[in-house]
Amino acid sequence: MIFEEPTILKVRKHEVFVERKITPVTVMVTGDWHISPIVSQKQFEFLEQAIEVAKPDLIILQGDIVDSPLELKRETSVKKLFKELTLCSKAAPTVMVLGTHDYITPTRIAKSLAGFAIPRMKKICEKCNVTLLFDEFFELPAIRVFGAFQDEKCTLAYRKDGLFSHFDNTYEFEKKLSKFDFSDLGTDKVNWFASHAPMINEKVAEDLAGFDILSFGHTHGGIVPRGIDDIFDQAGVNFGFISPHGTPFNSLARGMRAVGDGSLMLINTGMTGASFNAPRVLQKMNAIKAAEVSVVEIKNRPEAETE
């Protein structure tokens, strides 16, 4: 896998209106930082800029914060991690879900290092005042967030040689979510569901129908080069050329769209460009994609405010 650092920042704004009366709230979504030796000071500066523009009430980190769990043993990467997490938590309450790279090695023959990486990440988050969510809620006066952890059953598959490879197993994620009862979330707050990879099908969307927003990362925008993504935005197109595992014109790539019965799904394309799984002709183009931060402003419909 090849990750290259973008040279510009894009703050992608979404305005969401709800039918019931709630306290308006602004949520900044970022992730796929892939902290490693290749990630420089530029990413920290992008985060500073994004926070200044967004002025968020809450920040959600969508996973793949480090490029490999082994980065949690590298002093320079841990320092970058502390710096960026602390920047977020000082700006607003910050929650985080783990991605595959945070506890599974990003190699062709994947290996889970959950026993080391998860406790290490928990300690770092505690010191940085970031709330790491494992199938649990985080609540503020205006919003409640459920952070779902995609474990090894959801993210690893046996190979014929008995080893493991990366795999987005929507069926296992569906089974995991079926154990939770989200039927009575209440209407007093915005209800937000966050997880890393968009493992979503009709059944998952049905189980999560009580949430206003479902947010994911993981896709890196579906290999859409900078410039072309602006054209797509203007045309209302959300698919990526190749995403996330080599599927052409995948709609689970980027942007916001309606899913299920009343929910909206947001897919953040992350802070780093990914050229893996792209045809050779697109690889260098995608490496210059913008670092993206999503800002979601959730408001009452004007008529709801007068009721």
Closest Cα to residue 43, out of 13, 88, 73? 88
Q: How confident is the model at residue 161 (pLDDT cuts 50, 70, 90)?
A: confident
Own/partner contacts of 166-172, CB < 8 Å, gap of 24 or more, are 166/100, 166/104, 166/106, 166/110, 168/197, 168/199, 168/218, 168/244, 168/245, 169/199, 170/199, 170/200, 170/201, 170/204
Please give the Cα distance from 261 to 38 (Å, whole number): 42
Residues forming a β-bridge with 147? 136, 194
Quote the pLDDT of residue 257. 86
Between residues 291 and 151, the one the model is more confident about: 151
pLDDT digits (tens, 9 = 90+) for 232-257: 667 666 666 555 555 665 666 778 88
ω into 244 cis (within 30 of 0) = yes
How many Cβ atoms sit within 10 Å of the Cβ of residue 86?
15
pLDDT digits (tens, 9 = 90+) for 56-95: 999 999 999 999 999 999 999 999 999 999 999 999 999 9
Quote the pLDDT of residue 272. 81
Task: Provide the token pair at 173.
Answer: 């994620």
- State pTM to two decimals: 0.91
Is the pLDDT at 31 greater than 60? The verdict is yes
Please give the Cα distance from 260 to 295 (Å, whole number): 22
Task: Provide the token pair at 204.
Answer: 């998952």
For every residue of 254-277, DSSP letters joined together read: SEEEEETTTEEEEE---SSEE-TT
Task: Provide the token pair at 41.
Answer: 């000071």
Quote the pLDDT of residue 109. 85
How many Cβ atoms sit within 10 Å of the Cβ of residue 180?
12
pLDDT digits (tens, 9 = 90+) for 190-205: 999 999 999 998 999 9
Quote the pLDDT of residue 186. 86
Average pLDDT score over residue span 123-142: 97
Give Cβ neighbours of residue 201 (< 8 Å, ≥ 6 apart).
Answer: 170, 174
Helix axes 75-91, 114-127, angle to 10 degrees: 50
Specify the fold of 3-305: Purple Acid Phosphatase; chain A, domain 2 (3.60.21)
Round the average pLDDT of the chain to a whole number and report it.
Answer: 85
Please give the Cα distance from 193 to 138 (Å, whole number): 10
pLDDT digits (tens, 9 = 90+) for 254-270: 788 888 788 999 999 88
Closest Cα to residue 131, out of 102, 94, 99? 94
pLDDT digits (tens, 9 = 90+) for 163-179: 778 788 999 999 999 99
Quote the pLDDT of residue 237. 63
Is the pLDDT at 271 greater than 80? The verdict is yes
Average pLDDT score over residue span 180-188: 89
Please give the Cα distance from 236 to 183 (Å, whole number): 32
Q: How confident is the model at residue 4 (pLDDT cuts 50, 70, 90)?
A: low
Quote the pLDDT of residue 8. 81
Contact yes or no for 18/298 (Cβ under 8 A)? yes
